[in-house]
Amino acid sequence: MASNITNRGDLLASNMEKVPDEAYVAFSAASVFASIGLFMTGHRDEALFVGLLGSAFGTMAAIMKLISLQRARLV
C-alpha cells in the first residue's frame, strides 16, 4: 500500500514538473481578471470563487518548485 502511494506521488510530481512556471502565473492572472469581469457583470458569488483559484495556482507553483528542488538534491 505504501509503495502504491509513493508511485502515485512520483507520477504526480513528474507531471507537475512538465508544466512550465509561466503557466501557473498565467492561470493565476487569468483567474483574477475573470473574477473582475464576473464581479462587474453582477455575478458576485462566481467572482469570489474564480478569484480564489488564483491562490490555488500559486500554491501549486510553489509546491512544484519544492518538489523539483528536492528531486535535484536526490539525484
Per-residue pLDDT of the chain (75 residues; tens, 9 = 90+): 556 666 777 777 777 778 787 888 888 889 999 999 999 999 999 999 999 988 888 888 888 778 777 766 766
- How many whole angstroms separate alpha carbon 64 and alpha carbon 44? 31
- How many whole angstroms separate alpha carbon 60 and alpha carbon 20? 12
* pTM metric for this prediction: 0.66
- SS3 assignment, position 40: helix
Question: Which structural domain range is residue 31 located in?
Answer: 2-74
- The per-residue pLDDT for 48 is 93
Number of domains in the chain: 1
